[in-house]
A and B are shown apart, each in its own frame.
Chain A
């Protein structure tokens, strides 16, 4: 019984994803296809945010800069999180696909008006 327990916990830890950078994500995409990674990054203000719901409500494209300064284009198959432009930090969950990073989830951390509590959006 204890063995199963330890085994379950160890396999869980083997399976959990790590916080990585964009170059790592590109590398891992060939090593472990189909696995998602977490990337902490900020919005690349120089690149335009593309979201045209009239053509495709499920296509958002923007630039992101990871914690080491690497830039990458992110594609997200859901509507644009409303507070994206204001967010100080984005946590992307997804994987590299060719030149782009395909995010399956985006958590955006925003500064609030009076308080420092982060607010999250799960669209």
Chain B
């Protein structure tokens, strides 16, 4: 068979990118090896080699990044990644978002941050460089294998490792070369057909999606650093000196990951339709889990630094947090969540590899806790033996025995996992055991420890509920995924003791506290908080007792920490970090409480939802039904009362661009005073896109006030109804200013104006036609498009539902020579159907005080930044002494 030479492909770009990927992997392997040698025998030559190899991999990761960006930027659709995730119409600032729509791109982003952090640490870690960078090299190596694409698209290969972003479209989708139109241009010119990409998911085309994923991945990457310090501390047998750098990085991680999570929430609130910022979706939970544990780890590290206690918990939680990062990656990228999540990540065939990576990191933790090299070698050899044995079993067993082998492998894996964890915990406990010393009831360390335990309980619930699909798969259960109510019911109560301890924890001193002083300070804080709670609740209007307790604790969290600042030394405002971060968290939680407990569904008769619409006697409960219904129908130009507003649907506007399928629905809100004067008015423009691939995508529109948001969202609109087909077609030839009639004569149309424009190789003529049917009228814009390159003509018809009219520009008759130049005639084809009321079905929600959530987050992040700067300054001061 003759080899086909494909035209217009820039294969060198992909080859260059692939070269960088392989170079990254090799350089990681080298950096890992030489840093390991340097850490084992403190040899400076090895250290320099390791460092240079790490620099090489960092440069090469940046190289992969640049090549992939060039491919997307130049619309090189011969590459599957560019075709799948971008399109010609995509603005440059969203091109960067293509990186995180696909899995390969998000691994690349993660590696980018790891490389940046590695460069910072290699420069600043001093004597910790070799062991810490060994761990970072190991993690980076694991991630780089995810991009290798070894054996991709080739069934002959025995193992497939990774998925490369530089795979070709025609290799990934050979079926595309078989499509019928291909014969017209010839297979070698397939790129003439694939001139545009599949496009970026509409929901990701939001400015928050440009910064949320990089922040989140930076949070994931920073979680690696305290982990690396913990491993290095155990490995180098240093009890204490790893704690301060680990503490600094854990604070960085809690701040950045926290900000990343809330940014995701803000994106969901701005552009998703579920009406809120947090839905306990497994993907959200996946990033919350490492955060909860990193927050408790940071506090354990604070205790360890302050008193030398709780080394065991410091190590365990620091490591657990990074394990959870990897577990989160496995959950969201293996496709195991399937039905349970709104975020659809498909399985790229990497789930096995992700699992191996997770277990390799657990094994690294396990090896680090063993103190003698001999034990480590024995452990490593036995693991390798078991893995090889089971691989051989799996490969060489008869097909009939496959299920038995799979079950045996699964259970061996589970038992082995539990055994490794048990040994890890026992040995770690033994190694970190300290002289028994009484922990005083009034010591800060005791109460901080208890607070951290509550965070762990909170994790346990999130973990077990989110992992239901995993347990289903492992043990063959058929449990349905947990729902938001299941989480709220538990987390509400677990948050309360955490808030209380966060509020009063700082008033305890290390080791012991005078009861009289503590009592005095806490009573002041409590009294102020009680008064403040009463004051704010005038506006919040919370009535339920459990929510009132929650509100009081959030306010106490705020006031106690603000009042604590006055106890600190003057002029050392950097010391305020902890208090400010806590106070910000209090504001955030108060905002979460009031915006969810007191949200009002304006489009329902009242803002209360009943689960059942049946009375106790089994009959329909009319009241419950009315309350339950959350959507209202807005006929065009008919005002509807929504709370204190009068809302009127004024018609829709098509999105920009001639082939846009976006519709913006103008809903005008007016609030009138007693005498009918207008006090406030604004227009919201909720958007829909009836996407042929994804169904109806709706983007809410929100009016922001300081004390509340008015959120609107279109769930249905008249043009989605099944329509009677158009009939009674008739053609008319008209000039500008002329009037003509539809086939039945019921609709009178006037051609008002002609718009001509020429952009991006497309000549377009747009007519502005006014149509009148009895009392109703509408402006229609039939368009005539000519692509100058291909001379391809398209004429999308204009439709008016409320007139029941379709109008198509069939032909343009250019005046002959000698005729007047303004004598252009347009042939218009009209069709009719029964007119239909134009309406939208809307859900509108009032979120009170939702700004507290965002304000609290910003204050919290500022607090973390202050704490980090303060700790770095302390560290530097220590080094000088």
Contact = CB atoms under 8 A, between A and B. Distances in A.
Given A12-B465, A19-B480, A81-B695, A114 B342 contact: no
Interface string B684-707: 000000101111100000000000
A99 to B, nearest CB: 12
B482 A12 contact: yes
Interface in B601-615: 611-614
A88 interface: no
Contact of A4 (B346, B457, B468, B721): B457
Interface in B369-401: none
A15 interface: yes
Interface stretch (B70-78, B423-431, B625-633, B740-748): B625-633
Contacts of B854: none
A36 B481 CA distance: 12
A33 to B, nearest CB: 8
B480 A53 contact: no
Contact of A12 (B486, B690, B692): B486
A70 interface: no
Contacts of B465: 12, 16
B614 A97 contact: yes
Contacts of A98: 618
Contact of A53 (B342, B468, B696, B841): B841
A23 interface: no
Contacts of A58: 628-631
B453 A1 contact: yes
A12 B461 contact: yes
Nearest to A49: B722
A78 B480 contact: no
Nearest to B633: A57
B694 A119 contact: yes
A79 B721 CA distance: 12
B274 A18 contact: no
A9 B690 contact: no
A79 B628 contact: no
Contacts of B409: none
Interface residues of A, number: 53
A32 interface: no
Interface string A76-106: 0111111100100001010001100010100
A54 to B, nearest CB: 7
Given A9-B460, A113-B692, A113-B693, A79 B841 contact: yes
A120 B841 contact: no
B716 interface: yes
Given A79-B631, A112-B693, A122-B274, A12 B339 contact: no
Contacts of B16: none
Given A12-B482, A78-B630, A79-B716, A117 B346 contact: yes
A116 B483 CA distance: 25
Contacts of A86: 695
Of the listed residues A12, A57, A112, the one surrounded by the most CB atoms of chain B closer than 10 A to its CB is A57
B412 interface: no
A9 B464 CA distance: 7
B346 A9 contact: no
B464 A77 contact: no
A69 interface: no
A23 B694 CA distance: 32
B613 A102 contact: yes
A37 B633 contact: no
Of the listed residues A34, A38, A53, A109, the one surrounded by the most CB atoms of chain B closer than 10 A to its CB is A53
B490 interface: yes
A107 B629 contact: no
A114 B479 CA distance: 31
Nearest to A86: B695
Nearest to A94: B611
Interface in A33-92: 33-34, 36-38, 40, 53-54, 56-58, 77-83, 86, 91
Nearest to B274: A122
B346 A122 contact: no
Contacts of B696: 81-83, 121
B475 to A, nearest CB: 11
Contacts of B198: 114-115
A57 B696 CA distance: 16
A25 interface: no
A8 B460 contact: yes
Contacts of B460: 5, 8-9
B723 interface: no
Interface in B693-746: 693-696, 715-716, 720-721
A115 B625 CA distance: 39
A27 B307 CA distance: 59
Contact of B490 (A8, A18, A110, A123): A8
A33 B468 CA distance: 24
B768 interface: no
A116 B531 CA distance: 57
Smallest CB-CB A-B distances: 3 pairs: A83-B695, A82-B696, A38-B480
12 contacts: A1-B453, A13-B464, A19-B478, A38-B481, A53-B716, A56-B629, A57-B841, A79-B841, A113-B693, A117-B344, A122-B274, A122-B279
Interface of B: 84, 198, 272-274, 279, 338-339, 342, 344, 346, 453, 456-457, 460-461, 464-465, 468, 478-483, 486, 490, 611-614, 618, 625, 628-633, 690, 692-696, 715-716, 720-721, 837, 839, 841
Interface of A: 1, 4-5, 8-9, 12-13, 15-19, 33-34, 36-38, 40, 53-54, 56-58, 77-83, 86, 91, 93, 97-98, 102, 104, 107-110, 112-123
Given A17-B480, A53-B716, A122-B279, 18 more contacts: A5-B460, A13-B464, A16-B479, A18-B478, A38-B481, A53-B839, A57-B715, A77-B625, A77-B630, A82-B690, A82-B696, A91-B339, A93-B483, A97-B613, A110-B695, A115-B84, A115-B346, A118-B344
